[in-house]
Amino acid sequence: MVDSIELKGVGRRFNKQWLFKDFSTRFIKGDRVAILGSNGSGKSSLTSIISGYLSPTSGNVMWYDSTREISETVWWKNLAWCSPALDLPMLLTIQEVVQLYHDMRGFAGELTVQQIIELSGLQKHQDKPLSQLSSGMRQRIKLTLAFYADASVLILDEPTAHLDAASIYWYQDQLSKCTCPMIFIASNHDENEIVGCNKKIEITLDAQVLINH
């Protein structure tokens, strides 16, 4: 289980331009963090660096349990992640995708495959391959898998991308019920779509990272 995540002097450069640099902070158990900024500011890069899916240009990221640093090779065992960059197997049905995730790592609270499908609100479509679903419905599946993964860190990159008004309401309702992860981090350009956060990180257009509590 992850108790804290520490960033030391983290920066990311795209070509010759820094998106952000020299950013240091620590996230601890119970933190709910919103990463904010305009399009292209580096929000997705920062969430990907924290989760280990992208290497920083400078600095380091460390994950810790109560006694030691956790090897980066096993971060995924503690992580639930949803991002537009996350690809799902498009030829599988909803039921087959949820079953695959269940077989790989299980769900929090020993939830069953059918319960996960019902939580997504897409049980009427469970026998359809993902290739036949709208982008918003596929996003619902990705979010549901992340919300109910057996993990101690939940990171959502642009979670409301492709969601219509009804699905945003569903997302916010699921988020309000989500108490399982020890550390929650979400990025978005609109802070009103990320509720209940006790820490806000803003990436400015001049590559600064500002923290508000």
3-state SS string for 25-64: EEEECCCEEEEECCCCCCHHHHHHHHHCCCCCCEEEEEEE
Q: What is the pLDDT of residue 177?
A: 80
Q: What is the pLDDT of residue 143?
A: 96
How are beta strands 32-36 and 17-28 bridged, if at all? unpaired
Q: What percent of the chain has pLDDT over 90?
A: 74
Does the pLDDT value for residue 179 go beyond 80?
no
Does the pLDDT value for residue 58 go beyond 80?
yes
Q: What is the length of the chain?
A: 213
Average of per-residue pLDDT values in the chain: 92
Tell me the mean pLDDT in the region 143-151. 94
Tell me the mean pLDDT in the region 126-151. 96
Does the pLDDT value for residue 178 go beyond 60?
yes
Does the pLDDT value for residue 181 go beyond 70?
no
Tell me the mean pLDDT in the region 157-162. 91
Tell me the mean pLDDT in the region 127-146. 96
Name the pLDDT band for 192 (thresholds 50, 70, 90): low
The whole model's pTM is what? Answer: 0.91
Tell me the mean pLDDT in the region 27-55. 92
Name the pLDDT band for 198 (thresholds 50, 70, 90): confident
Planar angle of CA 169, 171, 175, nearest 5 degrees? 115
Distance CA 27, CA 185 (A): 9
The residues, any chain, with a CB within 8 Å of residue 146's CB and separated by 6 or more, are 80, 81, 82, 154, 156
Tell me the mean pLDDT in the region 187-191. 78
Q: What is the DSSP letter of 181?
A: -
Q: What is the pLDDT of residue 67?
A: 84
Ordered domains of the chain (ranges, CATH): 4-212 (3.40.50.300)
Q: Which of 31-35, 66-70, 90-94 has the highest mean pLDDT?
A: 90-94
CA 43 to the chain's CA centroid: 12
Q: What is the pLDDT of residue 148?
A: 93
Q: Give the residue from 15, 130, 190 showing the smallest Cα distance to 144.
A: 130
